[in-house]
Amino acid sequence: MTRTPRLEIEYCTQCRWLLRAAWTAQELLTTFGLRLGEVALVPGTGGVFDVRLDGDLIWSRKESGHPEITELKRLVRDRIAPDMSLGHSEKR
């Protein structure tokens, strides 16, 4: 039943990062809409905040800290819609 491109956000419940994860999900769905198959929120533990696109890890908090949303959008755009402009967030 999974739809692709599938974006997955695994967040730490102990750290109370649900709202952060849900906010990230809606930012990506607002920007990419039907270009995304789905965005899955995955409850986890131990300080995890990992973002995966079709199974590939594209962001991990433990490596890089929390992602800047503009940076995350660029990473997703480059993989699923390389010709799409991200407007003003492109020009940071």
Q: Which is nearer to a copy of itself, 36 or 76 (CB)?
A: 36
Q: Supply the minimum distance, in Å, between the C-beta of residue 9 and a copy of itself.
A: 9
Of 31, 16, 24, 27, the C-alpha closest to 85 is 31
How many alpha carbons fall within 13 Å on the CB side of residue 11? 18
- Please state, in angstroms and rounded to a whole number, the distance separating the CA atoms of residues 25 and 18: 10
Stretch touching a copy of itself by CB under 8 A, among 30-38, 59-67, 69-77, 81-89: 30-38
How crowded is residue 29: how many other Cβ atoms within 10 Å of its Cβ? 15
Number of residues engaging a copy of itself in binding (CB under 8 A):
26
Site for a copy of itself in 53-92 (CB under 8 A): 55
Identity of residue 18: L
Q: Counting contacts by CB under 8 A, is residue 25 touching a copy of itself?
A: yes
Is 8 a binder of a copy of itself (CB under 8 A)? yes
Considering only 43, 47, 64, 68, the residue that binds a copy of itself (CB under 8 A) is: 43
Tell which phi-psi region holds residue 70, choosing left (phi > 0), alpha (psi between -120 and 50) or beta: alpha
Report if residue 3 touches a copy of itself, rule: CB under 8 A.
yes
